[in-house]
Amino acid sequence: MEVRRTVPVKLDVDSDDTALLRDTVDEFLWAANYVVDHAWQGDYKTTSKAQLQAETYDEVRDRTRLHANLVQNARNKAADAVQSVVARWRQGEYAGKPHFSKPTAVYDKRCATFHDEYVSLATVGGRIEVEYVLPDEERDTPHSRYLDNDDYEVTGAELHHKNGEWYLHLRTKAGVESDKPEQATTGHSTVLGVDLGVNQLAVTSTGTFWTGEEFDHWRREYENRRGDLQQCGTRAAHENIQSVGRKETGRFKMMLHRIANGIIEEAVENGCTVIAFEELTGIRDRLSGASWGHKWAFERLYEYVEYKTELHGIDVEQVDPENTSRRCSHCGFTHPDNRDGEGFACLRCGYANHADYNAAKNIGLRYLRRNQTGDGGGAPVGVRLNRGTLNANGEYDPPAGDSGQSGSPRESPTLNEARSSDRAK
């Protein structure tokens, strides 16, 4: 499994370089705040990094002396902050417009070169080389554990100015190349299953639901607007139809980014190393009531989850969807009558729960079984549930020290599941 650590290192900076770093940080913050201001205009907030890049990059390059990659990092910082505000709104929380004032700048390997004892940093006045202030080699410190360790690679850093001193918070990671084999032999691979649908756009095996209501609402709304405009038949109306189309796409993408972020948060919070979806091919035929719009939305959602998880070292996989909605995630009995609309009730063991939640668990289980066959035994693995895990045999394993309820309102456990959890204790 991939391991990431952040190691703070003090920098030995002379007065000329201090001036350069200070100007660089000032301009970096200006750039990030400029992008936030831009994202904040208009009816809805722009969260797409690609869109923000297209709309602000030239202006920021013109108005600052920042290295091209520092401009991009400032834009990423701004986009992440706006995305998290929008996500909090969706949870009904209050969150104001982000503003950056803490003196920091984000570096990656394109605007910094990390050596064992010093770093080369891009500044508004070109590259400078700055030495690390390193502690005694003998002591067991984060530096000796991660920086002097060839297994750890520095992937980037945040520059901080605090109490008159400069620090680099170095991000390190290890085991990137041998990620998968290592996971198969030693890792406790935990998978988050995700079921996609029409009534519920996405449901995780941890019991979080994202309803399709908002999606349906906006789809109807835009269809009506288009319909009204089509009746006008003028050139202006035609242009308006195109603008409705763009607005629609923008709004849907924003919604899908929020869901993707939510799914990833769920995986990170639950320590999952894999997110499993059902195969997207043919999904429109399998789901009753699914439109081309749904198919488009599921493909975008998958794509967003896939590229956003790169940062977290989580794999995203697709599994064979056959019978995932008819199979009992508790005892494995498969029958079409197990399912009635949104309700699932196993004809054999009586396990009853929301049908999409049952399907999400099956998707996680299918990934585990697929990855356990063929390699003789395999690693201890589980599907992450709201309270505990299911192993590949569908057996329930409550979390250590589980009092029986995580306090989360997401899943109301059925009697059967509560019983099985008691038995397991």
Instruction: Please report, as ranges, the residues that interact with Zn ion according to CB under 5 A.
Output: 328, 330-331, 333, 346, 348-349, 351
Nearer to Zn ion, 83 or 362 (CB): 362
What's 311's DSSP letter?
G
Give the angle 180-183-7 at the CA atoms, nearest 5°.
95
Nearer to Zn ion, 195 or 248 (CB): 195
Q: How far is the C-alpha of 136 from the C-alpha of 140, rounded, in Å?
A: 9
Other CB atoms within 10 Å distance of the CB of residue 47: 24
Nearer to Zn ion, 134 or 349 (CB): 349
Closest approach, Cβ 261 to Zn ion, in A, equals 33
Ranges of beta strands (E only) in 14-134 are 104-108, 112-114, 118-123, 126-133
Q: How far is the C-alpha of 419 from the C-alpha of 330, rounded, in Å?
A: 12
Closest approach, Cβ 386 to Zn ion, in A, equals 19
Nearer to Zn ion, 28 or 351 (CB): 351
**Could you tell me which of 292, 288, 282, 283 has the C-alpha nearest to residue 252?**
292
Nearer to Zn ion, 74 or 355 (CB): 355
> Is-contact 46 249, C-beta < 8 A?
no
Closest approach, Cβ 50 to Zn ion, in A, equals 45
SS3 call for 300: helix
Nearer to Zn ion, 18 or 416 (CB): 416
Closest approach, Cβ 202 to Zn ion, in A, equals 24
Q: How far is the C-alpha of 237 from the C-alpha of 240, rounded, in Å?
A: 5
Closest approach, Cβ 352 to Zn ion, in A, equals 9
The pair of structure tokens assigned to 181 is: 């084999």
Nearer to Zn ion, 123 or 362 (CB): 362
Closest approach, Cβ 391 to Zn ion, in A, equals 16
Nearer to Zn ion, 148 or 422 (CB): 422
**Could you tell me which of 52, 90, 97, 386 has the C-alpha nearest to residue 259?**
90
Q: How far is the C-alpha of 87 from the C-alpha of 143, rounded, in Å?
A: 36
Nearer to Zn ion, 184 or 349 (CB): 349
Closest approach, Cβ 345 to Zn ion, in A, equals 9
User: Which residues 6+ apart lie within 8 Å of 48 measured at CB?
Assistant: 79, 253, 254, 257
Closest approach, Cβ 119 to Zn ion, in A, equals 58
- Phi–psi pair at 47, nearest 5 degrees: -115, -10
Instruction: State CA 344 to chain mean position distance.
Output: 29
Closest approach, Cβ 284 to Zn ion, in A, equals 29
Nearer to Zn ion, 34 or 351 (CB): 351
> Is-contact 210 201, C-beta < 8 A?
yes
- Phi–psi pair at 186, nearest 5 degrees: -115, -20
Q: How far is the C-alpha of 184 from the C-alpha of 231, rounded, in Å?
A: 60
Closest approach, Cβ 288 to Zn ion, in A, equals 23
> Is-contact 2 173, C-beta < 8 A?
yes
Q: In terms of DSSP H, where are the helices of 309-384?
A: 355-372
Ranges of beta strands (E only) in 94-197 are 104-108, 112-114, 118-123, 126-133, 152-162, 165-174, 189-196
Nearer to Zn ion, 268 or 349 (CB): 349
Ranges of beta strands (E only) in 135-231 are 152-162, 165-174, 189-196, 200-204, 209-211
